[in-house]
């Protein structure tokens, strides 16, 4: 396993370098002047020129890229133009809040999605099966921002059960976690149902039933365990999407996480903040996929590490 992890970590270096190059080039060819966003329209030309020189924005692109890469190698993602703080400090301050939201969404999606998929596979064609598939189709079809606004309208505005936005206790977490996890519930329900339908007719499941084992144990220990590989794949991708794709959810609910930080940085053309966020989230996504690969072998011993 150590060799597997080592090889995968080495293989991520070219990937992350490619992400760094693409992000740097795309952001530097986008129209707009970050210095103008910092100082406003009334600043004089001398102040703008001085700031551009201090931020190395007047240097050729290769020199700017060299400065940035050297900073990344030293663990310095630059200083935000807007907050005037190190980007890495801003990200480490906001990432736990994004992780909290992603963890709640993943727990909700895994519990509801896998449960719906297993129940639907036990009695295919029944009421529960049709209901779970209807939920799956609706979850896949509805966009995230629409689900979030609908939940705010229902539970915050009409029923007044939950706060519409902000960061605080458990009540503030329910609506954004449900919004972020809705699509995953749908995918997990469909994936679990399909995997379970392939496993349930297999000989070892019939043998377990013939031995007189309780049906709950047959389903949970024998059938579901052997259907976990595609479920782990979906969970691994979803966790990465929770952490890297929560921009809309965090914006709708004013959640002070990394996603909202990235959106504000894009609006203000805060280049160091956007570049650092992209690189930071890419590292997280790579690590999550590495963890999913390790869990494959734990879930199914037939998967070899080499």
| pLDDT tens figures, 124-149 | 877 877 887 787 777 777 788 888 88
How would CATH label the architecture of 88-299? Orthogonal Bundle (1.10)
Q: What is the distance between the alpha carbons of residues 155 and 148, in angstroms, rounded to a whole number?
A: 11
pLDDT at 298: 67
Q: What is the distance between the alpha carbons of residues 249 and 25, in angstroms, rounded to a whole number?
A: 27
Q: What is the distance between the alpha carbons of residues 130 and 126, in angstroms, rounded to a whole number?
A: 6
Mean pLDDT of 214-236: 79
69-78, 172-181, 242-251, 279-288: least confidently modelled range? 242-251
Tens of pLDDT, residue by residue over 82-103, are 788 888 888 998 989 988 888 8
Residue 39's pLDDT band, with cuts at 50, 70 and 90, is low
Q: Is the pLDDT of residue 297 over 70?
A: no
Residue appearing with tokens 């879930």: 299
**% of the chain exceeding 70 in pLDDT:** 90
What residue spans in the chain does CATH classification 1.10.3720.10 cover? 88-299
More confident residue, 238 or 42: 238
> Which among 101, 11, 95 is positioned nearest to 284, based on CA atoms?
95
Q: What is the distance between the alpha carbons of residues 244 and 224, in angstroms, rounded to a whole number?
A: 29
Q: Are the beta carbons of 41 and 289 closer than 8 angstroms?
A: no
Residue 19's pLDDT band, with cuts at 50, 70 and 90, is confident
pLDDT at 135: 75
pLDDT at 266: 82
Q: Is the pLDDT of residue 150 over 80?
A: yes
Q: What is the distance between the alpha carbons of residues 233 and 172, in angstroms, rounded to a whole number?
A: 29
* Mean of all residue pLDDT scores within the chain: 81
Burial 93-123 (b: 16+ CB within 10 A, else e): ebbebbebbbebbbebbbebbbebbbbbbbe
Q: What is the distance between the alpha carbons of residues 194 and 35, in angstroms, rounded to a whole number?
A: 54
Residue 43's pLDDT band, with cuts at 50, 70 and 90, is low
Pick from 122-136, 149-163, 192-206 the range whose average pLDDT is largest: 149-163
Contacts of 78 (CB under 8 A, 6+ apart): 68, 71, 86, 87, 271, 272, 273, 275, 276
- pTM value? 0.79
Contacts of 297 (CB under 8 A, 6+ apart): 1, 303, 304, 305
Mean pLDDT of 227-244: 76
163 sits in the region (left: phi over 0; alpha: psi -120 to 50; else beta) called beta
Q: Are the beta carbons of 86 and 270 closer than 8 angstroms?
A: no
Q: Are the beta carbons of 259 and 247 closer than 8 angstroms?
A: yes
Q: Is the pLDDT of residue 197 over 80?
A: yes
pLDDT at 32: 66
**How deeply is 239 buried, as exposed, middle or buried, from its count of CB atoms within 10 A (0-12, 13-18, 19+)?**
buried
Q: Is the pLDDT of residue 34 over 80?
A: no
C-alpha count within 13 angstroms, C-beta hemisphere, residue 32: 14
């Amino acid at each position: 396993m150590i060799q597997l992890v080592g090889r995968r970590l080495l293989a991520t270096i070219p990937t992350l370098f490619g992400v760094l190059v693409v992000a740097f080039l795309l952001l530097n060819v986008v129209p707009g002047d970050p210095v103008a966003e910092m100082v406003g329209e009334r600043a004089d030309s001398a102040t703008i020129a001085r700031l551009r020189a201090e931020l190395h924005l007047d240097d050729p692109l290769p020199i700017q890229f060299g400065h940035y890469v050297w900073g990344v190698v030293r663990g310095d993602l630059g200083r935000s133009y807007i907050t005037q703080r190190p980007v890495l400090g801003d990200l480490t301050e906001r990432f736990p809040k994004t992780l909290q939201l992603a963890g709640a969404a993943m727990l909700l999606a895994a519990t509801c999605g896998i449960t719906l998929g297993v129940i639907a596979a036990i009695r295919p064609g029944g009421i529960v099966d049709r209901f779970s598939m209807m939920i799956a189709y609706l979850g896949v079809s509805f966009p995230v921002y629409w689900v979030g606004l609908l939940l705010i309208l229902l539970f915050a505005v009409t029923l007044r059960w939950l706060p519409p936005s902000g960061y605080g206790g458990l009540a503030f977490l329910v609506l954004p976690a449900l919004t972020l996890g809705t699509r995953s519930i749908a995918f997990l329900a469909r994936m679990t149902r399909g995997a379970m339908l392939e496993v349930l007719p297999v000989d070892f499941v019939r043998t377990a039933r013939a031995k007189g084992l309780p049906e709950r144990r047959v389903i949970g220990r024998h059938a579901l365990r052997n259907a976990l590989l595609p479920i782990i794949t979906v969970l691994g991708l979803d966790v990465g999407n929770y952490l890297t794709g929560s921009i809309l959810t965090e914006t709708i609910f004013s959640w002070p996480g990394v996603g909202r930080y990235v959106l504000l940085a894009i609006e203000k053309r805060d280049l160091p903040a956007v570049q650092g966020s992209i690189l930071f989230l890419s590292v997280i996504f790579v690590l999550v996929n590495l963890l999913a690969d390790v869990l494959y072998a734990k879930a199914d011993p037939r998967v070899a590490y080499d």
